[in-house]
């Protein structure tokens, strides 16, 4: 570890820019299947909570980054960032919207981190949100399927279709069972029981999962995250600028992203999600640590099988063995490598643009010890989040740590 | 869809439109017949967008030269079967007309 620590302290080393971004405050709305309030209000509430948590006044925020995938399609609205700035009293700040499909939230976070790390901004607000309840399931499936390659779109392929194929292949190649896959959903539902911000607070069993209606075989309803409404926000400042005398800051050790092929079948290995592997490798290099240094992770479990594929891409399990970690309880809150202690996309919910930031919020709460005992990872010092656009089109990997 | 793009420099093939080879970056891509592939995985999708058949049986198949494809299955087929893309047809209806392409068909 000593050479890593040394590399980190070198100016112009892997942490280019010289200023260390820290998370000063976080906040989110409770995710729900249908929140009656407008999208703009959800964004304002989440941002207001993060600002209060940070004890930062709005007029000091000089850079605003709003993550959202499809307000034009779901809400017939544009200009979200400009509206938010006016409402929050940040007129004059730089502001823009970031769209990276289902990873829009993490991309907004990455943009905010870079604004502070590389300057000239001193305080950045990243807020992400989506309101999907304005349309029925068939329409939201269609809106989301429009992110696919035209050759995929013509075949009627949806995001669950890719997950169904990946699950079929994973089970066939590695010998995991349908019940093993269900255990991912059972665990994440169990974790969400003590998360008042989660969309689902309902314990489920393996039989509930395997007997639920088929969505994209072998995947069933309880293998899939829900659609819903929500927003989440983070306030970032630089450590040297403001935070040396403040308790409870969490340091951004790395935030890196990578794109993958647009057409999923263009990947040499159809089970590989290369963008997760590349973003993860870059994040480990920037932070100067490896997967063994992690105490907790929030992965993009839009479908149960994705939790396994991402564990393997990120070095949290050898290829073909993530399912054993789940089966053996290693990924439970009291296991060796707790994954998705807040319930993940499966049970916390997946309001597209909000999700990446809700993962950061959960990690910060875990690292500060601000969660109920039932879902508190014991004494975590370092956590990872990965937010994935499409079925691996573009992934963002973040490493957070408690300052030494 | 019965053709693939083949890289004239390195031979890597792909079913999906692109300007440069995925492996070597060459822009010398030529059409080639896809040939026969192996079915690697299947799924039956029960929630489909408007204009798409429901349920929609899909297969992931690997063809020579590293060309993989996800396409509708014409008939019941099992993982490991040899398949071919054939029979250009309407796959999906939209407000702007039908989108056409081929389905994966098992080869005897």
Q: Which residue has the tokens 């399912």?
A: A323
Rounded distance between C-alpha atoms, residue A126 and residue A357, angstroms? 8
CA angle A143, A149, A155 (to 5 degrees): 80
| Neighboring chain B residues of A217 at a CB cutoff of 8 Å | 42-44, 46
CA distances from A233 to A256, A300, A361, A365 (A): 19, 18, 7, 13
> Token pair of A327, please?
């089966």
Preferred mutation among B60, B62, B78, B94 to probe A, highest tally of A CBs within 10 A: B60
Q: Identify the pLDDT of residue A317.
A: 98
Q: What's the gap in Å between the CA of B43 and the closest CA on chain A?
A: 5
CA angle B69, A314, A258 (to 5 degrees): 65
> Token pair of A181, please?
């896959």
A372 in contact with chain B, both atoms CB, cutoff 8 A: no
CA angle A284, A287, A292 (to 5 degrees): 50
Q: Identify the pLDDT of residue A5.
A: 39
Task: List pLDDT tens digits, range A363-377.
Answer: 999 999 999 999 999
Residue A89 has pLDDT above 90, yes or no: yes
Residue A282 has pLDDT above 60, yes or no: yes
**Yes or no, beta carbons of A138 and B1 under 8 Å apart:** no
A255, β-bridge pairs: A398
A212 in contact with chain B, both atoms CB, cutoff 8 A: no
What are phi and psi for residue A387, nearest 5 degrees? Answer: -120, 130
**Yes or no, beta carbons of B40 and A155 under 8 Å apart:** no
Q: Which of A157-161, A236-240, A340-344 has the lowest mean pLDDT?
A: A236-240
Q: Which fold has domain A2-135+226-398?
A: Peroxisomal Thiolase; Chain A, domain 1 (3.40.47)
Span A128-151, average pLDDT: 94
| Neighboring chain B residues of A270 at a CB cutoff of 8 Å | 40-41, 60, 62, 68
Span A42-56, average pLDDT: 97
> Token pair of A320, please?
């073909």
Q: What's the gap in Å between the CA of B97 and the closest CA on chain A?
A: 11
Residue A184 has pLDDT above 90, yes or no: yes
**Yes or no, beta carbons of A216 and B14 under 8 Å apart:** no
CB A269 within 8 A of CB A303: no
| Neighboring chain B residues of A151 at a CB cutoff of 8 Å | 1, 15-17, 101
Per-residue confidence at A10, pLDDT binned at 50, 70, 90?
very low
Domain range enclosing B47? 3-106
| Neighboring chain A residues of B68 at a CB cutoff of 8 Å | 265-267, 270
| Neighboring chain B residues of A264 at a CB cutoff of 8 Å | 70
Q: Identify the pLDDT of residue B87.
A: 87
Segment (H or E) for A355: helix A352-368
CB A50 within 8 A of CB A43: no
Q: How many CA atoms lie within 13 A of A81 on its CB side?
A: 21
Give how many domains chain B has, as a whole number: 1
Rounded distance between C-alpha atoms, residue A205 and residue A190, angstroms? 10
Q: Identify the pLDDT of residue A177.
A: 98
Residue A182 has pLDDT above 90, yes or no: yes
Task: List pLDDT tens digits, range A225-279.
Answer: 999 999 999 999 987 655 555 667 899 999 999 999 999 999 988 789 999 999 9
Per-residue confidence at A31, pLDDT binned at 50, 70, 90?
very high
Name the residue in chain A with its Cα closest to that of B92.
A154
**Yes or no, beta carbons of A264 and B22 under 8 Å apart:** no
Those residues with Cβ within 8 angstroms of residue B70's Cβ, 6 or more apart along the chain or in another chain: A152, A155, A157, A161, A162, A165, A264, A265, B58, B59, B60
Residue A9 has pLDDT above 50, yes or no: no
Question: Closest Cα to residue B65, out of B37, B86, B85, B39?
Answer: B37
Span A82-93, average pLDDT: 95
Q: Identify the pLDDT of residue A251.
A: 96
Rounded distance between C-alpha atoms, residue A326 and residue A67, angstroms? 31
Preferred mutation among A140, A153, A155 to probe B, highest tally of B CBs within 10 A: A155
Rounded distance between C-alpha atoms, residue A325 and residue A318, angstroms? 10
Residues 218 through 277 of chain A touching chain B, CB cutoff 8 Å: 218-219, 261-268, 270
Handedness of CA A51, A54, A55, A60 (dihedral sign): negative
| Neighboring chain B residues of A161 at a CB cutoff of 8 Å | 43, 45, 56, 58, 70
Span B65-75, average pLDDT: 95
Average pLDDT across chain A, whole number: 93
User: DSSP strand E in chain B: where?
Assistant: 3-7, 13-14, 29-33, 37-45, 56-63, 67-72, 82-94, 97-106
Per-residue confidence at A8, pLDDT binned at 50, 70, 90?
very low
Q: Which of B40, B43, B51 is the closest to A217 by Cβ?
A: B43
Q: Identify the pLDDT of residue A152.
A: 96
A178 in contact with chain B, both atoms CB, cutoff 8 A: no
- DSSP labels, A271-335: T--HHHHHHHHHHHHHHT--GGG-SEEE---SBHHHHHHHHHHTTSS-TT-HHHHHHTTTTSTTS
Span A176-186, average pLDDT: 98
| Neighboring chain A residues of B15 at a CB cutoff of 8 Å | 151, 263, 265-266
Q: Where does A90-239 have alpha helices with state H?
A: 104-117, 137-145, 150-153, 159-174, 178-192, 206-210
Task: List pLDDT tens digits, range A113-130.
Answer: 999 999 899 999 999 999
SS3 A266: helix
| Neighboring chain B residues of A218 at a CB cutoff of 8 Å | 43
**Yes or no, beta carbons of A151 and B1 under 8 Å apart:** yes
Can you give the residue ranges of every domain in chain A?
A: 2-135+226-398
Q: Where does A23-174 have alpha helices with state H?
A: 39-54, 71-75, 80-88, 104-117, 137-145, 150-153, 159-174
Residue B44 has pLDDT above 80, yes or no: yes
Span A348-375, average pLDDT: 98
CB B76 within 8 A of CB B13: no
| Neighboring chain B residues of A160 at a CB cutoff of 8 Å | 45, 47
Q: Identify the pLDDT of residue A137.
A: 86
**Yes or no, beta carbons of A156 and B91 under 8 Å apart:** yes
Those residues with Cβ within 8 angstroms of residue B26's Cβ, 6 or more apart along the chain or in another chain: B7, B8, B9, B10, B20
Residue A12 has pLDDT above 50, yes or no: no
Residue A2 has pLDDT above 50, yes or no: no
Q: Identify the pLDDT of residue A380.
A: 97
Those residues with Cβ within 8 angstroms of residue A391's Cβ, 6 or more apart along the chain or in another chain: A159, A162, A163, A166, A264, A273
């Amino acid at each position: 570890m000593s050479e890593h620590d040394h590399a980190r302290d070198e100016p112009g080393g892997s942490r280019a820019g010289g200023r260390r971004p820290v998370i000063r405050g976080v906040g989110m709305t409770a995710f729900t299947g249908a929140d009656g309030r407008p999208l703009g209000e959800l964004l304002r509430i989440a941002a207001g909570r993060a600002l209060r948590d940070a004890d930062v006044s709005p007029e000091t925020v000089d850079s605003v980054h709003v993550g959202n995938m499809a307000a034009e399609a779901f809400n017939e609205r544009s200009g979200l960032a400009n509206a938010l700035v006016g409402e929050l009293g940040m007129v004059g700040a730089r502001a823009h919207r970031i769209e990276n499909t289902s990873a829009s939230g993490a991309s907004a976070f990455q943009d905010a981190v870079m604004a502070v790390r590389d300057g000239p901004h001193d305080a950045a607000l990243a807020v992400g949100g989506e309101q999907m309840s304005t349309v029925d399931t068939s329409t939201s499936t269609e809106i989301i399927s429009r992110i696919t390659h035209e050759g995929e779109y013509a075949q009627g392929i949806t995001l669950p279709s890719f997950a169904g194929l990946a699950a079929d292949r994973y089970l066939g190649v590695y010998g995991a069972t349908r019940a093993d896959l269900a255990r991912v959903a059972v665990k994440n539902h169990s974790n969400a029981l003590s998360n008042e911000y989660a969309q689902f607070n309902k314990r489920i069993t393996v039989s509930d999962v395997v007997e639920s209606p088929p969505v994209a075989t072998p995947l069933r309803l309880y293998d899939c995250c829900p659609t819903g409404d929500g927003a989440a926000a983070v306030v970032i400042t630089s450590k040297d600028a403001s935070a040396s005398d403040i308790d409870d800051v969490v340091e951004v050790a790395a935030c890196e992203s990578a794109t993958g092929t647009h057409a999923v079948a263009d990947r040499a290995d159809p089970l590989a999600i290369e963008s997760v592997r590349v973003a993860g490798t870059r994040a480990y290099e920037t932070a100067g640590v490896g997967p063994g240094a992690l105490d907790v992770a929030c992965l993009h479990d839009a479908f149960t099988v994705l939790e396994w594929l991402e564990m393997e891409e990120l070095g949290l399990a050898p290829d073909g063995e993530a399912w054993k970690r789940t089966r053996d309880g290693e990924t439970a809150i009291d296991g060796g490598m707790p994954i998705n202690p807040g319930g993940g996309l499966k049970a916390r919910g997946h309001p597209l643009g909000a999700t990446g930031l809700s993962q950061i919020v959960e990690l910060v709460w875990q690292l500060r010890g601000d969660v109920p005992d039932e879902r508190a990872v014991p004494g975590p010092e370092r956590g990872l989040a990965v937010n994935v656009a499409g079925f691996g089109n573009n992934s963002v990997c973040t490493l957070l740590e408690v300052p030494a | 869809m019965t053709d693939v793009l083949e890289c004239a420099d390195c031979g890597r093939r792909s079913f999906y439109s692109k300007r440069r080879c995925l492996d070597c970056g060459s822009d010398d891509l030529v059409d080639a017949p896809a040939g026969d592939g192996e079915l690697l995985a299947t799924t039956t999708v029960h929630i489909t967008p408007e204009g798409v058949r429901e349920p929609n049986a899909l297969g992931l198949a690997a063809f020579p030269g590293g060309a993989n494809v996800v396409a509708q299955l014409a008939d019941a087929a099992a993982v490991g079967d040899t398949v071919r893309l054939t029979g250009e047809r309407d796959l999906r209806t939209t407000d702007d007309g039908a989108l056409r392409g081929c389905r994966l068909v098992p080869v005897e």
